[in-house]
Each structure stands twice: as structure tokens, then as C-alpha cells.
């Protein structure tokens, strides 16, 4: 299958007629959040190594995924996987909310209930990440069907990796959406490894976009390191869904430049030669070259942006780390609209015990992953 590409690795255009008509503000915003994501990944992995947080998942090399966020509108819904940091931040998740979730303290919108790197932010319809692989695919298909039944002009987009296409939920979600023409975009980040398993060892159909044919809707393959191409294919898919024409499977052909998570050592299974080859296609360097070629950016501006973002990250981390743990009372909240009497008794008993003891000692063990 032909791969959609607008920018070559050196930042020049493949075909000027394919170049999307985006404003300077939109282009610079895309670049800002690509850089923010890369720098946040560097700091996040460093904090995990220092023992300040228990777990982190990087998206280094896959920052061009942010192009799809530009194609969404405020009422659309996102069902993410692990590496969609750029999408959440671009759509309006505050950096403080993002970082606080890694610590799970009182500043965390999830109140410490989710494992680290499992972000959620209701104001932008960014649904909580699920740990089980590909469960979000079926969830998004169902939510999209609900939108259709309500006659809403909105879409769901769900993200998953190449390994997720071998899971039951992938089949269930794709089949359901195909049958009922649900307004759903299935975005597969084919970064060529399902943790340590190469794509050819987990699926016989190596062009994942071809799998859409079995479910009766289009599949398209895009250069996942080309932010403009990602924007174009997702925008086309969103427009198609909102016209009532049903779902689209987007295969983003990319590469994971870092570990699967902070618990992984990719040198045990990924040849250095492959890493070196993909480093030449770095999505940030590619887009930066494009902006400079268009006289929209400069090395001086780039250095200033990097310095500004690094300072912002440091300031937010300093603020977040001063927060206390979530209040004990939150253990009992946000489950029922009206708290059952049995839970109310338990809550009162725990708070009374805390009052008598003065404080609780953290007896939890280190995060196991």
C-alpha cells in the first residue's frame, strides 16, 4: 500500500500540492508541542531513574502524532494508549495535571488512583488510559456508536500499537464500527515492536492498514514521522466520519526511539543499526527544517523555545512535588452519586483512626514495573 508522505526526512516537500493550508500559528503550535513532548520525556525518564516517580512511558520518535490532534474539534473524544502525550497536551491538558499524575499526589486529577502515565482529563474528553492492551478500541467504537445514535456531529479517535491489532478487542471494535458505520478513527502507531516482539512475529499481515478491508472500511498508511501527513490523513478521516461514511483505520508507520517503558532495555532486542537508521527520520528535526525553509523559524528561536520549555517543566515539577498525598477521604469518593451508609461508616472510622494516630505510615512497596 502506498504511504502518504508530505515532508521528506530533510524537511523538503514531496509534492507542494499535498501541503496543507495551515496558518503560521498552527504550524508553530504543532512544533511547540512536539518539542514539549520530547523534553518532557527526557525529564520524565530522568525522574524515574532518580527514584522520584515509579514509572514512565516515553514517546520519543513518535511526536508527529500531534498532527492528528489539530484535526480534532473540542467536542470530539480521545481514547488513548500509552504514547499520546503530545495529543493530550496539545488539546489542552495542563502540564501541571500531566506531571501531577506521575506523582499521584493531591494535585493529581485522578487522586492517585491510576498507575503512573495513565492520564485522563475530562475537559478535553481525554479518556483514561487502560492498562490492558487494545481495550480502548472497543470502548471507542461503542462511544462513537452512541454519538451516532444521538445524531451528534462528533467523532472518537482511538490510539493503539501494532501489537494491539492481535488482540480480541481490536477485532471486536473494528467489526462493530464497520457494521454500524460508527464515526470512529482507529489510529495504529506501528512502531514495529510490541514491547520486544517485532511486528512480523505477531501478525502475518505486516501492512496493518490492509486489515481494514476485512471490516468493510478504508485503511490508509501514513509516514508517522511526518506531522503534516499525519494531520492530512486524520483530517480526511474525521471529515469522512462526520459525513456519516463510517470509520477509517490509519496506520502510522513510525519507530519507537526509546524503551517501551522505564522498565525496558531495548538494546536487548533492537539492533543499533536500526536505531541509527530511524534517527535520520526524526520527526522533530524534519519539521524544524521545514519551518526554517519557509522562513517561519530560526535556530535562535529554537534555542529560546527549548530553554523556555525546560524552565517551565522544572517550575511545574517543583510546584507539584510540594503537594501532599491525596486526602484519606478521597478513598471513598467519586464512586457513587450518593455514598451508601456502609461506605460512610468506613470513611468515618478511618478518619477517626487517622485523627487518633496522627498520621499513617506509607507501607506500600516500590512500583513493580
Mapped to the 3 state alphabet, what secondary structure does 59-102 carry? CCCCHHHHHHHHCCCCCCEEECCCCCHHHHHHHCCCHHHHHHHH
Q: Which of 118, 260, 286, 290 is catalytic?
A: 260
- 155 vs 141: CA distance, rounded Å: 10
Backbone phi, psi, residue 145, to 5°: -65, -40
- 369 vs 261: CA distance, rounded Å: 9
Whether 33 is catalytic: no
Nearest-Å Rg of the Cα atoms of the chain is 21
Q: Which of 269, 286, 290, 336 is catalytic?
A: 269
Distance set, CA 168 to CA 133, 148, 163, 300 (Å): 10, 24, 11, 49
Q: Which of 38, 83, 240, 256 is catalytic?
A: 256
Whether 260 is catalytic: yes
Whether 269 is catalytic: yes
CA 280 centroid distance within chain: 23
DSSP state at residue 250 = E
DSSP state at residue 203 = -
- 161 vs 146: CA distance, rounded Å: 25
The set of catalytic residues is 256, 260, 269
Amino acid at each position: 500500500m502506498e504511504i502518504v508522505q508530505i515532508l521528506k526526512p530533510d524537511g523538503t516537500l514531496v509534492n507542494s500540492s499535498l501541503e496543507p493550508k495551515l496558518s503560521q500559528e498552527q504550524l508553530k503550535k504543532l512544533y511547540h508541542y512536539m518539542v514539549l513532548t520530547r523534553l518532557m520525556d527526557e525529564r520524565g525518564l530522568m525522574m524515574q531513574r532518580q527514584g522520584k516517580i515509579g514509572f514512565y512511558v516515553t514517546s520519543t520518535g513518535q511526536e508527529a502524532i500531534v498532527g492528528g490532534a489539530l484535526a480534532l474539534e473540542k467536542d470530539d473524544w480521545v481514547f488513548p494508549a500509552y504514547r499520546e502525550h503530545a495529543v493530550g497536551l496539545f488539546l489542552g491538558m495542563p502540564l501541571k495535571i500531566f506531571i501531577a499524575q506521575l506523582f499521584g499526589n493531591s494535585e493529581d486529577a485522578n487522586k492517585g488512583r491510576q498507575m503512573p502515565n495513565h492520564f485522563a482529563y475530562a475537559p478535553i474528553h481525554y479518556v483514561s488510559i487502560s492498562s490492558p492492551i487494545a481495550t480502548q478500541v472497543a470502548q471507542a467504537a461503542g462511544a462513537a456508536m452512541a454519538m451516532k445514535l444521538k445524531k451528534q456531529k462528533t467523532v472518537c479517535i482511538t490510539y493503539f500499537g501494532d501489537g494491539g491489532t492481535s488482540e480480541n478487542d481490536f477485532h471486536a471494535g473494528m467489526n462493530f464500527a464497520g457494521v454500524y458505520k460508527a464515526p470512529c478513527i482507529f489510529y495504529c502507531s506501528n512502531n514495529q515492536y510490541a514491547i520486544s516482539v517485532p511486528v512480523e512475529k505477531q501478525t502475518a499481515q505486516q501492512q496493518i492498514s490492509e486489515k481494514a478491508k476485512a471490516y468493510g472500511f478504508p485503511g490508509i498508511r501514513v509516514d508517522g514521522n511526518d506531522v503534516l501527513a499525519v494531520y492530512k490523513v486524520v483530517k480526511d478521516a474525521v471529515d469522512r466520519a462526520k459525513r456519516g461514511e463510517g470509520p477509517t483505520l490509519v496506520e502510522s508507520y513510525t519507530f519507537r526511539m526509546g524503551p517501551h517503558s522505564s522498565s525496558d532495555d531495548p538494546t536487548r532486542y533492537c539492533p543499533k543499526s536500526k536505531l541509527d537508521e530511524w534517527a535520520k527520520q526524526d520527526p522533530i528535526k524534519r519539521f524544524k527544517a521545514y519551518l526554517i525553509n519557509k522562513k517561519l523559524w530560526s535556530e535562535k528561536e529554537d534555542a529560546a523555545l527549548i530553554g523556555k520549555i525546560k524552565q517551565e517543566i522544572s517550575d511545574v515539577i517543583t510546584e507539584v512535588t510540594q503537594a501532599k498525598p491525596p486526602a484519606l477521604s478521597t478513598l471513598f469518593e467519586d464512586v457513587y452519586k450518593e455514598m451508601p451508609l456502609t461506605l460512610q461508616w468506613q470513611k468515618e472510622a478511618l478518619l477517626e483512626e487517622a485523627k487518633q494516630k496522627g498520621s499513617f505510615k506509607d507501607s506500600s512497596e516500590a512500583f513493580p514495573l
